[in-house]
Amino acid sequence: MSERTAEQVVESVRAAFAETFGHEPEGVWSAPGRVNLIGEHTDYNGGLCLPIALPHRTYAGVSHRDDGILRMASAQQDGVVEVVLDEVSPEQPGGWGSYVAGVLWALREEGHDVPGLDVLVDSTVPVGAGLSSSAALECSVAAAVSDLAGLGLLEDAGSRARLAQVCIRAENEIAGAPTGGMDQSAALLSDDATALLLDCRSWQTEQVPFDLASAGYALLVTDTHAHHELVDGQYGSRRDSCQEACRILGVDQLREVDPSELDATLEKLPTDELQRRVKHIVTEIDRVEQAVAALRSGDLEEVGRLFDASHVSMRDDYEISCEELDVATETARQHGALGARMTGGGFGGSCIAIVRSESVDEVSTAIDASFADHGFTAPSSFAVTAAGSARRDR
Ligand code: GLA
C-alpha cells in the first residue's frame, strides 16, 4: 500500500495544479491500478479474466478550457505537455500525454462534445510494474471528462463499460499499445472486496466475492522491478500468433475452441510453438471458470493450485515469464503460499501469491533474500485488498 493517503494525494494534486496552471481545478477524479487474479492474455482472445482493482490510484485534477487546447502536467514527470485537440494523433503529443489526449480523442470519435482541459496527475500506482498505471491514467481522465462535459458515463455498469471501450481505443489507436481491454474494464467496473469476472467476448461482468482476510489470508504482490514495456514487440507477437491460429482453425476468437476438444484442435496447428500458445489460452480461460467456482465455494487451496498451473502455462507454453518472476513465485510457494503466479502482460512486472496473513513479512523477506542471491535488483512486495473503481474524489 502506498504511504500517502487518498486525502493527501488529492490535496497535493490541488496544490500542484494551482501552482502549474495559476487557478484551482474544478475537481479531482481517480482510478485504480489492477492485478489480474487469473486469465492472462485471454482478453484479446474473447476470453475470461478476473482482475481486482488495487488501492493504488492515479488522481487527476482537471478544469475545462474554452480554446480547444489540452495542457497536461504530472507529479511524476517534468514540464507541461500541450496539444491542440484537433491535432491529437499517434504522433501528437506522444509520450505519457498520449494516454490522456487519446481519451479525449476517442470520446470525440464517439461523437461526444469534449472541451479542452488543464490536467494535473499524480499517482500511487507503481509505473512499469505491470499494475496498469496507464489504464489508471486513462480512466481517471475519462471519469473527469464524463462529469465535466455532462456525459453521464459513470452512472451505471452499462455506461462505465462504454467508457472502458473509449479508453481501450485511446490506448490502441493513440498510445499505440495493442492491449486487450482488461485493465480499463478493471479500472472502471471493479468494486471493494470483489474480483471482476470479465467476459471479453460479450463485455459482460460479474462481481465475485474476494475477501481473503476473513479466511486468514492475504494477496501478496511482488513488483520484481524487471523490465515491462507493452509497446515493444513481445506482446504484439503473442497477439499475432493467436490471430494466425484463429485463421488456421477457422474461428474468429480462440474463445470458440472447446476445451474438451483441445487435443484434436492442437493437431490442426502446424508448429509446436503455435500449439503451446493455443493450449495456454484455452486452458487459461477454463482455469478462470474453475477459479471463480473455487472462490465462490471458499476453496482457497484450489485457487492456489490454479494460480500455480496458470504460472506453469505462462512460463512453458505462452513463454511470457522471466527468471525474476519464476524465482519470486517459487520462493513464495516454498514459504507456504497456497499458489503464486505472474500477473499482467509478462516479461517482467509483478507476481501475486496467496499467503497466510501472518506470513506476509516472512514471504516478502524470503523473496528479497532470493533476489539478492540471484543478483537481481531488490523487489518491492506489499499485501493488497480489492478496491473500488474510478470516482470523483473532490
Ligand atoms: C496487459 C494488457 C491487458 C492484458 C494483459 C495480459 O496488462 O494491457 O489487456 O492482455 O496484459 O492478460
pLDDT in tens, 172-223: 999 999 999 999 999 999 999 999 999 999 999 999 999 999 999 999 999 9
Ligand 1 pocket test target in 172, 183, 238 with most atoms within 8 Å of CB: 183
pLDDT at 271: 98
pLDDT tens figures, 91-108: 999 999 999 999 999 999
Q: Does the CB atom of residue 185 touch ligand 1 within 6 A? A: no
Is position 191 annotated as part of the catalytic site?
Answer: no
Distance from the alpha carbon of residue 90 to the mean position of ligand 1, in angstroms: 20
Q: Which of 229-243, 314-328, 368-382 has the lowest mean pLDDT?
A: 229-243
**Which ligand 1 atom minimizes the distance to the CA of 177?**
8
Please compute the mean of the pLDDT values over residues 140-153 and round it to a whole number: 98
For residues 143 and 230, the model is more confident at 143
CA nearest ligand 1 atom 10, residue: 41
φ, ψ for residue 271, nearest 5 deg: -125, 155
- Going by pLDDT thresholds of 50, 70 and 90, the confidence category of residue 2 is very low
Determine which one of 43, 118, 122, 183 is catalytic: 183
**Is 60 exceeded by the pLDDT of residue 113?**
yes
Cα gap 35→182, rounded to integer Å: 10
Cell triple for residue 181? 481491454
153 C-beta neighbours (distance < 10 Å), count? 25
Distance from the alpha carbon of residue 180 to the mean position of ligand 1, in angstroms: 6
pTM here is 0.97
Cα gap 242→126, rounded to integer Å: 30
**Which ligand 1 atom minimizes the distance to the CA of 134?**
8
